[in-house]
Structure 1
Amino acid sequence: MTTPYRCPNCKTNKTRFNIIKQMAESVKLDPQTGEVLQTYDEATLEPFHMPYRGPEYKIQCGVCGLVESETMFAKFGESSIS
């Protein structure tokens, strides 16, 4: 996260962002009630339960509210360096 960002939506914001740390929790739910029946850690996942493989961070523009991957904001930030 030491690269310049720029919002790909509003295209003007280069300074105001919210960094959203994603913390996945693997659970098994009751299909009728939605109640959590079991929680898993990385070592105890069942065979048909994939571990979370998404991004560690998401970025939100502090001006227009767009939420995207960090790479999207970084790519637009790189293109604005002159």
Structure 2
Amino acid sequence: MVAPYLCPNCKTNRSRFNLIEQNAKPVKMDPRTGDLLEEYSNEMLNPFHVPYKGPAIKVQCGVCGLIEDERSFIKRAESNKLQ
């Protein structure tokens, strides 16, 4: 999304951010050892595996380090517009 950002935590940063691209990888793990037992494709999940529905991008403030959904940074900028 192309929109101005403002950090909802430090409330001063409008220009330095890290965009974190999230790439969910569905897997089945051994509950005792943590070993990877099986990898799934998003098209071939088993009936008990819920597909990832979270945001594709998270944003980290380059000043204070806060990591939030992109819309939190956009909403803060909308409510505190530059003159």
TM-score band by shorter chain is over 0.9
Percent identity over paired residues: 56
SS of 1:71's equivalent?
Answer: helix
Shift of 1:79: 1.7
C-alpha distance in 2, partners of 1:4/1:52?
A: 27
Number of equivalences: 82
Letter paired with 1:71: R
Gaps of 5+ in 2: none
- The corresponding residue for 2:66 is 66
Alpha-carbon RMSD across the aligned residues, in angstroms, is 0.7
Between the aligned partners of 1:43 and 1:80, the Cα distance in structure 2 is 42
User: Equivalent residue for 2:25?
Assistant: 25
Unaligned runs of 5+ in 1: none
Question: What is the TM-score of this pair, normalised by structure 1?
Answer: 0.96
> TM-score, with normalisation over the residues of structure 2?
0.95
